[in-house]
Structure 1
Amino acid sequence: MRRTLFLLIVGLGGAAILIWLGVWQIQRLAWKEAIIADINTRIAAAPVDLPASVNRDLDAYLPVTVSGTFEQGEVHVLVSQKDVGAGYRIITPFVLEDGRRIMVDRGFAVASAKNVARSDGPATVTGNLQWPQETDSFTPEADLKGNIWFARDVPAMARTLGTQPVLLVTRSSTPPAAGISPLPVDTARIPNDHLQYAITWFSLAAIWLGMSLFFLRRRRAPKTES
């Protein structure tokens, strides 16, 4: 009797924990979807002027339109595009009409065009402010001599280019940059695996219950005499 009670407690208790974890992941899924929906709404809003004082927390994804001048000097961030292959994000210093210096992510250029001379001069750029979190302990150090970066690190790029730590990711530019395809900000890279996690926990709960029932039935089955 004690062993049967123990199996019941372990079986039901373990299943309850696994089900709770699945429910928690469903709640996290709803939370993440709300965040992504809010970001998408913010990205698609009408562009405004760049704030006089840019706040990383308040102004992330803010759509803005700026006018100014592209300067010489670039940072090349190694990326890959589906159906195209390896290439680089082209990050260029941009001087606003009020004298502030920011960075503009002009978009994607194929690897063979990495060192092609690009036009500078006056331009109007519309895009979204972004402080991407692309670096971690596994990210290689930038090859400054070869001008190859492996992630967009806004503070480090700003120090290299001599700008404010403000990155505007281009949606459109007038005039357009020859040989560069804009890579506008989107939410596709924001991880959202909570549904898969929930399915995993619920599946484990079902397996746990099934195994518990199997052991209980085996425990209660009459022993046959040999």
Structure 2
Amino acid sequence: MKRYLFPLILGVLGTAILVWLGVWQLQRLDLKEDMLARIQSRIDAAPVPLPANPDPSMKYDPVTVSGMTTGEEIDVLSGTKEQGGGYQIVSGFVTDDGRRIMVDRGFVPQDDRHAPRPPVRLDITGNLHWPDEKGSSTPDPNLSENIWFARDVPAMAAQLGTQPILVVASFVRGDAQGVQPIPVAIEGIPNNHLSYAVQWFMIAVAWAGMTAGLIWRIRQRKY
């Protein structure tokens, strides 16, 4: 019996830890789904005029702004399933009360990137946003070509000479100049906890199987 003890303890302990990791991921899944539901409720709330001093705690809040684009823009490398590669157009925007902010007007295909987009009056409904897109591996923007690889609100504001406020348009009234709005959506927020849980449970099954196989081999030994 002693020869079974160590592999049995190792097998039971390892399987228990792996199952616990799977359960932990399921618990995190519940928390993430609750968080996504709360974000969706904020996105879907009734829009209000742009607050006086927006800050990142207001991320996803729906707002309305009216004013003029400045004709200055930042082109963020992007793409859609329907149209393939292209750019998100982030424009400087002067509101009717004189505030300089930024508006993510939406998507243009690659071929329309250099189409003229002079200053135009727009009434925009959208959501405040502070995207967390820039990582350690994200290249710095190519300023000479005006190509950015992530939306970085402080850096874009410095480039366009605006406040660090970004409104992502969901509806535009006026001449959209061929730019298709891409509203803020929870689909872009990663939620992989279910797949992680399945992986941990599969590893637990494999661990238990290897333990059973090892014990079977021990039983087959002849002394």
TM-score by length of 2: 0.96
The residue aligned with 1:3 is 3
The code of the aligned residue for 2:210 comes to M
C-alpha distance in structure 1 between counterparts of 2:89 and 2:139, whole Å = 19
C-alpha distance in structure 2 between counterparts of 1:120 and 1:25, whole Å = 49
Q: Which moved more, 1:115-124 or 1:101-110?
A: 115-124
The residue aligned with 1:133 is 132
Q: Is the 8 A contact 2:39 2:186 kept in 1?
A: yes
The residue aligned with 1:172 is 171
Deviation at 1:176, TM superposition (A): 3.9
Q: Give deviations 1:119-149, integer Å, cap 9, x for gaps.
A: 4232211000111111111111111111111
The residue aligned with 2:63 is 64
* Stretches of structure 1 lacking an aligned partner (at least 5 in a row): none
The code of the aligned residue for 2:71 comes to Q
Q: How many residues align structurally? A: 223
Deviation at 1:53, TM superposition (A): 1.1
The residue aligned with 1:27 is 27
TM-score by length of 1: 0.94
The residue aligned with 2:120 is 121
The residue aligned with 1:50 is 50
Q: Is the 8 A contact 2:120 2:175 kept in 1?
A: no
* Equivalent residue runs for 1:82-93 within 5 Å: 82-93=81-92
Deviation at 1:215, TM superposition (A): 1.6
Q: Is the 8 A contact 2:14 2:207 kept in 1?
A: yes
**Matched residues, percent identical?**
51
The residue aligned with 1:183 is 182
* Equivalent residue runs for 1:104-119 within 5 Å: 104-119=103-118
The code of the aligned residue for 2:178 comes to G
RMSD over aligned CA atoms reads 1.4
C-alpha distance in structure 2 between counterparts of 1:220 and 1:5, whole Å = 12
Deviation at 1:83, TM superposition (A): 3.0
C-alpha distance in structure 1 between counterparts of 2:76 and 2:221, whole Å = 70
Deviation at 1:34, TM superposition (A): 0.7
* Stretches of structure 2 lacking an aligned partner (at least 5 in a row): none
Q: Helix, strand or coil for the counterpart of 2:168?
A: strand
Q: Give deviations 1:90-132, integer Å, cap 9, x for gaps.
A: 1111111222111000111111111211142322110001111
Q: Helix, strand or coil for the counterpart of 1:115?
A: coil
